[in-house]
Chain A
């Protein structure tokens, strides 16, 4: 029968394949990310020492904007042609759909981050003082925090008026502690002024708590009329 893992794999594969073919979202997100980096560079003049202090914050705000663009189109294809109905009618578990969409978003936003990060390093002349692998961990935990709630709230916002505005509106407040953690951890690693450990632990806890909440409640909101 249709197991959680099997449906997860097939859904993720299908989404990646469709994205690869149309390159809809990825193209617009890439260009948007580049724009953000450039505009930030003009708004926040990067001289050597100050830049390290604020770069942590800037990078994550930029990633956040890019993530919202990605998240807003998460369910777009399913809404066209009422495909969600076909999914709801099938015996496939709702959580495999959720996980596939979340992991898909994680990959998209992750690719964006990997492309934007070198730009930031270049424009702001960054050299991290702390170990780089820690940056990778913070990046992964932070991106997951944004994407797991973002995918969930995107599914909620598709049932509202002005859905593109509704998503950031309900996502940002709940994400504040995670954003704070991402920024503080990144700044700590870049400047070497303090330890990022507390913040990394906080991110891990956040990820755990909210992934659980999403998995428990996704079926409920999928079937909300």
Chain B
């Protein structure tokens, strides 16, 4: 496993470096926004990766509720955590971009706002996991994950309509905006790089959680197999 990790790590490094080169040097400077716009190549791939992670969490949670396997639960936890991290990147790069360009920290841009709500939902998921006691955690968390994910389309619809009522600057290009092919190339390369990187982190986190589960099982198993002591109550003594 070590070698696989190293190989994929190197691939991710290579892709991220190439992506950096593409984003910073090859891609043309945007007409109105200038170089600040280059955040776009990190902002958008983070969002797509986060969303994929949350989708993976949804699938793992549903699978857990059906089969009750510890691996599904470990995968759900790992994908939620990695998703929240990428979500945080989106929420930080958004204002970093908006401030110099429009002079405001936050725009109620449909996608940015949806990301914020997703972040809230999955952070609440992680907090639920932390605050519930052992045996029930996987079931409760999986249920919350399903509720959270089916909420996503409703969230998106509501924010989009809300925005048509209260127009604000759009961060990453509206519906009909075209995109320069070089920019598109930089975007896609960075997305691929983020995906590979994200997958590696997810895999490591999953393995970590599985290891924790197996330690618990081993403890319990060892207790189970301890030698008996002589019974403390002699039944005949009750006579």
> Per the CB under 8 Å rule, do A and B touch in the complex?
yes
Query: A159, B121: Cβ atoms under 8 Å?
Result: no
Interface flag for B102 (CB, 8 Å): no
**Residue B140 contacts which of A162, A172, A173, A221 (CB distance < 8 angstroms)?**
A221
Query: B151, A177: Cβ atoms under 8 Å?
Result: yes
Interface flag for A180 (CB, 8 Å): yes
Give the A interface residue count (CB, 8 A). 32
Q: Give the complex CA separation of A172 and B140 in angstroms.
A: 17
By beta carbon, the residue of chain A nearest B122 is A173
Interface flag for B120 (CB, 8 Å): yes
Residue interface mask A177-194, B partner, CB < 8 A = 1: 100110010000000001
Query: B133, A159: Cβ atoms under 8 Å?
Result: yes
Instruction: Identify the interface centre among B127, B144, B154, B161: most chain A CB within 10 Å of its CB.
Output: B154
Query: A194, B165: Cβ atoms under 8 Å?
Result: yes
Q: Give the complex CA separation of A206 and B155 in angstroms.
A: 10
Q: Could you say which residues of chain A place their CB within 8 Å of the CB of B158? A: 177, 180-181, 202
**Residue B146 contacts which of A149, A217, A225 (CB distance < 8 angstroms)?**
A217
Given contacts A194-B165, A209-B154, contact A174 B147 (CB under 8 A): yes
Q: Could you say which residues of chain B place their CB within 8 Å of the CB of A213? A: 146-147, 150
A182 CB to nearest B CB, Å: 11
Q: Could you say which residues of chain A place their CB within 8 Å of the CB of B157? A: 177, 202
Give the B interface residue count (CB, 8 A). 31
Q: Could you say which residues of chain A place their CB within 8 Å of the CB of B117? A: 173, 176-177
Query: B133, A160: Cβ atoms under 8 Å?
Result: yes
Interface residues of B in 121-162 (CB under 8 A from A): 121, 123-125, 127-128, 131-133, 135-136, 139-140, 143-144, 146-148, 150-151, 154-155, 157-159, 161-162
Interface residues of A in 143-178 (CB under 8 A from B): 149, 153, 156, 159-162, 166, 169-170, 172-174, 176-177
Interface flag for A220 (CB, 8 Å): yes
B116 CB to nearest A CB, Å: 9
Query: A224, B136: Cβ atoms under 8 Å?
Result: yes
Q: Give the complex CA separation of A162 and B131 in angstroms.
A: 8
Instruction: Identify the interface centre among A161, A173, A221: most chain B CB within 10 Å of its CB.
Output: A173
Query: B144, A170: Cβ atoms under 8 Å?
Result: yes
Interface flag for B65 (CB, 8 Å): yes
Interface flag for A198 (CB, 8 Å): yes
Q: Give the complex CA separation of A198 and B17 in angstroms.
A: 46
Interface residues of A (CB under 8 A from B): 149, 153, 156, 159-162, 166, 169-170, 172-174, 176-177, 180-181, 184, 194, 198-199, 202, 205-206, 209-210, 213, 217, 220-221, 224-225
Among all A-B residue pairs, the 3 with the closest Cβ atoms: A173-B120, A224-B139, A177-B158
Interface residues of B (CB under 8 A from A): 65, 117, 120-121, 123-125, 127-128, 131-133, 135-136, 139-140, 143-144, 146-148, 150-151, 154-155, 157-159, 161-162, 165
Q: List 9 A-B contacts (CB under 8 A).
A: A149-B147, A153-B144, A160-B133, A177-B159, A180-B158, A198-B161, A210-B147, A221-B140, A224-B139
